[in-house]
Structure 1
Amino acid sequence: MRSGMRWLLAGSLLLNLLLLGFGGTVAWRLRHGAVGLVEGAMIRPLHGQDKRIMRQAFLQARPEARAAQARMRAAHLAVDTALRAEPFDPAALQTALTSWRLATDAFLASFEAPLLRGAGAVSPQGRRGMAALGDKQARRAARGVGP
């Protein structure tokens, strides 16, 4: 019986760790949103000093990126509002879509300065690792698999 209790305890501990990891991931994504996802993707392939350099570059630009993300979300809500409007107004939807596209472009542009600043200080190996991330995403897109 003691052996069965040990397995039960180990299984319970494993389940709790999995739930804790899942909950932490969800909380992190809710807190950091798309900004955190982009930063995380760019930093993930790096190691040591390269990782610290890029993290610092993104940290300095985070207020601008978060503001751009808020504008992008607001523009997306305007698209949803235009789609739900009765009577439907195609001109209002076109205006909202244009605003959303511009806000999305501004959000993506908010990562240019930290990427330029950080990449200039990162090792050649680190830059190759960052470029490999883009290669991986391109291969996934070519297969029709998510972003």
Structure 2
Amino acid sequence: MANPNGNPPTLTPAPLGNTLALRHGAYGRQTTELSEHGRELVEDLLGLPHMSPADRLACEELAALTDFIDRLDRQLADGKLENGRGQARSLLDLRLRASTKLERWLNALGLLPSARAEWSAALGGVGLAADLARRRE
């Protein structure tokens, strides 16, 4: 609803893509455009030997999550972990959940040492089953 005391002839809508009031974007409509850092991250990830063009969507999701975490971190940089009522800030909870999601994406894309070890073991036939098969030969 428009301000009834406002001056309608001077009111103009916000320009498309307006991010002037965007702080972290956690509660509002999500921004769909990746930051420059996010776009660079996608290209770097797709350049890894185990990635293919089919992984682009997953890489973009990881980059978007990284952008979101960066925005949350900037808001939490003031060091205040509690709100005025002494409760943990809701942004802190969002940050912890985003970290969990980030770890899942990193694991799914083979970007954690443990994920790479599992992947190479599966490809190399390393493990108990492979040892037993070699002993039988």
Q: Same fold (TM over 0.5)?
A: no
Larger Rg: 2
Q: TM-score range by the shorter chain?
A: 0.3 to 0.5
TM-score, normalisation: structure 1:
0.37
Richer in helix (by share): 1
* Greater RCO structure (CA 8 Å; 6+ sep): 1
